[in-house]
Structure 1
Amino acid sequence: MADINSTPSLTCATCSKAGATNGSPLQKCGGCRTTFYCSKDCQKADWKSHRTSCKKQNSTNSGTKQNGNGNFQSSKATMEAMLGLNTTTWLYNRPEAEVYTLLIDSYRMRVEDEYNFRGDVDDDSIYGGGDPTKGFRRFLLEAEKRSGVLPSWWNAEKRNACVAKGDSKDHWSTLHCAVEKSDVQEHYKKPSMPMQLRMLAEEIIGSNVMAF
């Protein structure tokens, strides 16, 4: 959700409060950007009733057409062109440890986005309170199904090593710690890095986080 200035005319769509209980401004849904909430809990509680109108509004705002796989292809192509990025070759010609880190952080960004934008919580994630390595392993298995996304040296042994790295808590890219856009930008010293990680996750999962 994106911060906005709280005004008397705006109230939380779930509890009708004019602002957050801690005095912070209301926040707007990251999908439609027209519905406001005082907290992530309120956004999550309202998701089932809000998701239909959110999808419709987001499609109108984006000006793109959604295909049968739930991808916004024109938007994706535009972003790749802007970033000079090809998500099917982005991991190529990188050191093994760096590939592991990018996959871990791409998954962490996706988990964060699904919680913020859609109110979805995977039980096997830092938000669901379960074992985050299980959700990440499923993510890697999906990556293996996508032709050309992973480097040619990737195999089951490398997958296990990548999961093990994510399970470790002695470095920044750990599955046991949530991550936000600002954290990624600060860590990588690159403003566009969150978008690059998001696009890699979209390539792996097969859908835009805004597609419902």
Structure 2
Amino acid sequence: MADTDSTPSPTCATCSKTEAVGGSPLQKCGGCRTTFYCSKDCQKADWKSHKTACKKSDSTNSGTKRNGNGTFQSSKATMEAMLGLNTTTWLHNRPEMEVYTLLIDSYRMRVEDEYSFRGDVDDDSIYGGGDPTKGFRRFLLKAEKRPGVLPSWWNAEKRNACIAKGDSKDHWSTLHCAVEKSDVQEHYKNPSMPMQLRMLAEEIIGTNVMAS
């Protein structure tokens, strides 16, 4: 007798591929957590049709509301309290090279999230194949417009030094290498580090990665 109570196996929302026995599992959309994809390429291809339903689901499930600039203020405040940090002063009182590293990795985390969650790829990013320092420079210029986010010693010379560090390929925090959540956790030996980097990027850019 057939088992009528069995749960159907998930399929990729783009190509309808199912999970292979013993193979890699399908991945859930990071926004709604209900739609499955077999690859980042399929997620990117489906984003235009999926994003409206995804954002509605994300807003409903999170119990938070967006403010005028698209950020999730209540969840951000909650996460800051949980992690014991303030993103507007998080970079203060740190050594110069550490500040550079955290800015680079925050930007890399944001580029990865925009690609994974929204299917967005800038030409001047590691995914777009262009010069990744251009996108990073825009990121730093935005940071400079956010009162208090950068240390008091920051200036144009420091900005250029930070970009030069990101452009170098002889260390882990390089703009020429993509990074994922698990990479960050392993490198920093801190499971909350991806969230901290994401929150810094949100503070700088002014929007949650799932906002329009």
2: CA distance, partners of 1:177 / 1:131: 12
Q: Does 1:85 align with 2:85?
A: yes
Shift of 1:169: 0.4
Q: Which amino acid is the alignment partner of residue 53 of structure 1?
A: A
- Say how many residue pairs are matched: 206
Greater Rg over alpha carbons, structure: 2
TM-score by structure 1 length? 0.94
- Could you report, residue by residue, the CA deviation over 1:95-120 in whole angstroms, capped at 9, with x for unpaired residues? 11110000000000000111111111
Partner of 1:3: none
Q: 1:97-108, aligned counterparts within 5 Å?
A: 97-108=97-108
Q: CA–CA distance in 2 between the matches of 1:193 and 1:13?
A: 30
Paired letter, 2:76: K
The one-letter code sitting in structure 2 at the alignment partner of 1:48 is: K
Unmatched runs of 5 consecutive residues or more in structure 1: 1-6
Q: Which 4+ runs in 1 deviate beyond 6 A?
A: none
Q: Distance in 1 between matches of 2:89 and 2:129?
A: 33
Match of 1:53, SS state, is helix
- What is the rounded CA distance, in whole Å, between the counterparts of 1:133 and 1:145 in structure 2? 19
Q: How does 1:160-199 map to 2 (within 5 A)?
A: 160-199=160-199
Q: Does 1:123 align with 2:123?
A: yes
1:8 deviates by 4.4
Aligned residue for 1:4?
none
Does the alignment pair 1:73 with 2:76? no
Q: Which residue of 2 aligns with 1:42?
A: 42
Q: How far apart, CA to CA, are the structure 2 residues paired with 1:8 and 1:39?
A: 20
Cα RMSD over matched residues? 1.4
**Are residues 1:159 and 2:138 paired?**
no
The answer as to 2:127 corresponding to 1:113 is no
> Letter of the aligned partner of 1:139 in structure 2?
F
- Residue 135 of structure 2 corresponds to residue 135 of structure 1: yes
On the 8 A contact 1:8/1:18 being kept in 2, the answer is no
Return the letter of the residue paired with 1:39: S
Structure 2 residue runs of 5 or longer lacking an equivalent are: 1-6
Deviation at 1:35, TM superposition (A): 0.8
- Residue deviations 1:72-116 (CA, integer Å, cap 9, x gap): 000000000000000000000111111000000000000011111
For 1:210, give the aligned amino acid: M
Deviation at 1:23, TM superposition (A): 3.1
